[in-house]
Amino acid sequence: MVNFVPQELIVERGSESSPIYRNLRRALPEVPLTIIDEAGAAALADAGQADLFGAAKKKLYLMRHRGEFFKKCPGSDGQVCCNYFVINFASNCPMDCSYCYLQEYLQDNPALKVFSNIDDLIDEADRTLQKHRGVFFRIGTGEITDSLALEPYTGMARELIPYFAEQPNILLELKTKSASVESLLDLDPKGRVVVAWSMNPERVIALEEHDTASFHQRLAAARRCQDAGYRLGFHFDPMIEYEGWQADYQAMLEEIFATIDWRRLSWLSLGVLRETPGLKRRMRERYPQSRLLTGEQVLCPDGKMRYFQPLRVEMYRNMVRWIRRHAPTVKVYLCMESREVWQQVFGFAPACEKELGNQMAPRA
């Protein structure tokens, strides 16, 4: 994550009492700040730029979240779901991957927002977790943002970890393409926090994952988190097929397993590049030079374009084989894939989403 500094802070009146406001002011004393009465309307009205989505990433809103924080991950129609829950503490992301689905998902409301009412977030999570103590929850914060990209300024993860580390029936996953882990290192995650990186070979990162941390920065951050007592995860998603991908992905795995103790991994996931036709249009507008626009893809029943099934199966089988050489029993799952593909890759498909979710529960 390379030197993102917001050009302006817009704070909704009332949010000044939040610890996130205090953290922002301490970390960004030089950034101009405006306090306004109703940030939601202002964020929506903040239009008129040639690349509104790109421009929206430069201004940071701090405001109350008025809806629910805690939700079930929507998954994708007809695909095997991994029973994941999400907490949305922010919306949009300061990094800018050419394939990011937020370009379509947030195109009508692209403001970069962080939510100030974290007491409400914790109350809401607490009600659900208390009520269902017999259920294991895998909870992520990186559905419509990156979990750690804004951490040096907001300190959001640092505010939330002490609560979630005490919960007996969860794993909280912080998923990122940044290397912003400094604020986590002196906390005790008590085995309940997984810091996870989306990983791709450096060649893909340089071409398609703009303003993110390099592969080696991500790996070094993962090692620091391992040493600080965190569980780790890696998501090889989206995997990109190109000439020579096999050598690059194999070399990437070799480096990861030479740096990380695989027994500290909670899970690895695999997924290939996928876009809706609408996202593809947005990519063409924003990144017309992207090589991702030229590969052959087919429309799948969930409305997303993916590589042909035989190619996907081959890519997944290779990755599983290369992973198993280093990490014989680590949990590997497929993200947003059909039962048929699961069968061909692993020889089974989970009976239900709860079964897959429960397999991720910590054993120790």
Measured from the CB atom, the residue of 117 and 147 that comes closer to ligand SF4 is 147
Are 81 and 139 in contact by the 8 Å Cβ rule? The answer is no
Q: Which stretch, 34-42, 48-56, 67-75, 91-99, contacts ligand SF4 (CB under 6 A)?
A: 91-99
Question: Which parts of 206-245 interact with ligand SF4 (CB under 6 A)?
Answer: 212
Could you tell me the smallest distance in angstroms from the CB atom of residue 329 to ligand SF4? Answer: 29
Q: What is the DSSP letter of 289?
A: T
Q: What is the C-alpha separation between 112 and 56, in angstroms, rounded?
A: 6
Q: Would you count residue 97 as binding ligand SF4 (CB under 6 A)? A: yes
Q: Tell me which residue has tokens 């949305």.
A: 88
* Cβ-proximal residues to 334 (8 Å cutoff; 6+ apart), any chain: 80, 269, 270, 271, 316, 341, 342, 345
Measured from the CB atom, the residue of 54 and 75 that comes closer to ligand SF4 is 54
SS3 265: strand
Q: Which stretch, 92-100, 154-162, 244-252, 266-274, contacts ligand SF4 (CB under 6 A)?
A: 92-100
Q: Which stretch, 89-97, 150-158, 182-190, 343-351, contacts ligand SF4 (CB under 6 A)?
A: 89-97
Q: What is the C-alpha separation between 205 and 199, in angstroms, rounded?
A: 9
Q: Would you count residue 95 as binding ligand SF4 (CB under 6 A)? A: yes
- Contact pattern from residue 298 through residue 327 relative to ligand SF4, giving x for each residue in contact according to CB under 6 A and a dash for the rest: ------------------------------
Length of the chain in terms of residues written: 364
The CA distances from residue 181 to 67, 153, 170, 192, in Å, are 28, 12, 21, 16
Binder among 102, 157, 193, 268 for ligand SF4 (CB under 6 A): 102
Could you tell me the smallest distance in angstroms from the CB atom of residue 87 to ligand SF4? Answer: 15
Could you tell me the smallest distance in angstroms from the CB atom of residue 229 to ligand SF4? Answer: 25
Could you tell me the smallest distance in angstroms from the CB atom of residue 1 to ligand SF4? Answer: 9
Q: Which stretch, 93-101, 159-167, 254-262, 318-326, contacts ligand SF4 (CB under 6 A)?
A: 93-101
Q: Tell me which residue has tokens 């050598």.
A: 247
Measured from the CB atom, the residue of 2 and 361 that comes closer to ligand SF4 is 2
Could you tell me the smallest distance in angstroms from the CB atom of residue 95 to ligand SF4? Answer: 4
Q: Would you count residue 100 as binding ligand SF4 (CB under 6 A)? A: yes
Q: Which residues pair with 173 in a beta bridge?
A: 140, 194
Please state, as a whole number, how many other Cβ atoms lie within 10 Å of the Cβ of residue 250.
Answer: 16
Q: What is the C-alpha separation between 273 and 276, in angstroms, rounded?
A: 11
Q: What is the C-alpha separation between 292 and 276, in angstroms, rounded?
A: 13
Binder among 65, 113, 138, 177 for ligand SF4 (CB under 6 A): 177
Measured from the CB atom, the residue of 100 and 313 that comes closer to ligand SF4 is 100
Ramachandran quadrant class, 257 (left: phi over 0; alpha: psi -120 to 50; beta: rest): alpha
Q: What is the C-alpha separation between 97 and 213, in angstroms, rounded?
A: 11
Question: Which parts of 115-154 interact with ligand SF4 (CB under 6 A)?
Answer: 146
Give contact residues for ligand SF4 (rule: CB under 6 A): 93, 95-97, 100, 102, 146, 177, 212
